[in-house]
Structure 1
Amino acid sequence: MIELIIVRHGQSVGDIENRFEGRADLPLTQLGKDQAQKLADWLSTKYKFDKIVSSPLSRASETAKIIGNKLNLDISLDDRLMEYNKGVIDGLLKEEADKKYPIPEGGRKYYERIEKGESLIDLRARAEEFLAELVGNVKKDNVDKKLLIVSHGSLISQLLKSFLKLPMDSKVHFSTGDTGVHSLKIYNNDRIVITTNMQQHLL
């Protein structure tokens, strides 16, 4: 059996400044650090992980390190877990980005890239590759594993779509709040969703 706990980072500077974050490497706020510590405390009472894998962007890796310190686990970084690369608008205030680079009428198609960015297909491909490799390695070792993944909202949504084998043009979306927790299991060939966007540790 494979158990995957997927979490979003805590509140970041980009969140409170209303910026497009993407690849802009903006750190956690103090509240974000506090949220990560609360998550770490809660996870320590619920799970014993074999491994923590995180996006290298600081808002995610900071969150992962806070959890790792609590659980006494090292962090592995994986570029495939980075947020959706929105190119020229990353780091811009959303109001500024809307003026400089307005969304085309009817929206961008999932195969279209914003300048210097990636398409939704590119994002989905990263999620698919990461998940397939993860599951393949665990099945090859033929042992039960509990894995913690720390990433970002858009990439997490694509991981969940990949997990559920939803088509590229699916209109299903998954919300993830600050340090929101998604719990998934793979047992034989069954894929089981336990919880999505759980935030009881913040109460």
Structure 2
Amino acid sequence: MATIGLIRHGITDWNELGKAQGVSDISLNDLGRSQAKRLGRRLSQNEDWDMLITSNLKRAVETARIIGNIINRPISSIDDRIREINWGRNWRNLELGIENFENVSTRGLDFLEDIERLYKNKRVLAVSHGALIGLTLQRLLPEEFQTTYIENTSLTIIRKIKDRWRCQLYNCTIHLK
């Protein structure tokens, strides 16, 4: 069975301003880079990961590169399925073009099922986004996750054991303390 570590990207200026980024391609800020380095150091100390996959958005790719440099793993692939929800244009005022939450969680679930099927007995890190991770967890384990909040550079670890997904670690940011 694959072990999958879901990581939310490091913080950006837009995160600090409370602006929804969606698919806007925003880079990490200095704090976000520092957060990624801290998580990379944590992951290099007591955990061995086989692969690193990331969303195609800059903030996730940058987070993955920083972590990968520290844990000595290159980015194995970039997967659009784990990119952030598309909030559409001017979504707060017009509610036009927003991606359906069910579609977001379906993308996330399809990604997890593929990773579990293709990389049995591997430990895979996936750098993604808060809404994608949260909505996927709510779909995957609805009894456990009726609501979610995913911190920047948090680590959530899930595994599929006997055809049932289980969350071993949720939204852990001990590396930021």
Question: TM above 0.5, one fold?
Answer: yes
- The separation in 1 between residues aligned to 2:31 and 2:152, in whole angstroms, is 10
Secondary structure at the counterpart of residue 4 of structure 1: strand
Gaps of 5+ in 2: none
What does 1:101-140 align with in structure 2 at a 5 Å threshold? 101=94, 114-138=95-119
Please name the residue that 2:153 is paired with.
Answer: 179
CA contact under 8 A between 2:104 and 2:136: conserved in structure 1? no
Where has structure 1 moved over 3 Å in runs of 4 or more? none
- Computing the radius of gyration from Cα coordinates, the structure with the larger value is 1
1:62 paired with 2:62, answer yes
What does 1:53-202 align with in structure 2 at a 5 Å threshold? 53-75=53-75, 76-89=77-90, 98=92, 100-101=93-94, 114-138=95-119, 143-164=120-141, 166=142, 172-202=146-176
- The separation in 2 between residues aligned to 1:60 and 1:171, in whole angstroms, is 23
- The separation in 2 between residues aligned to 1:122 and 1:135, in whole angstroms, is 20
Secondary structure at the counterpart of residue 89 of structure 2: helix
- The separation in 1 between residues aligned to 2:102 and 2:137, in whole angstroms, is 15
Please name the residue that 1:104 is paired with.
Answer: none
- The separation in 2 between residues aligned to 1:25 and 1:200, in whole angstroms, is 27
- The separation in 1 between residues aligned to 2:105 and 2:137, in whole angstroms, is 10
What TM-score do you get using the length of structure 2 for normalisation?
A: 0.91
Range with greater deviation from structure 2 (33-42 or 15-24): 15-24
Shift of 1:48: 1.2
Please name the residue that 2:28 is paired with.
Answer: 28
User: What's the CA shift string for 1:149-201, capped at 9, x where partnerless?
Assistant: 1100010012223432x39xx98121111111111222333432211111110
- The separation in 1 between residues aligned to 2:126 and 2:137, in whole angstroms, is 12
**Aligned-residue CA RMSD (Å):** 1.9
Identity of aligned residues (%): 30
Please name the residue that 1:50 is paired with.
Answer: 50
- Count residues with an aligned counterpart: 176
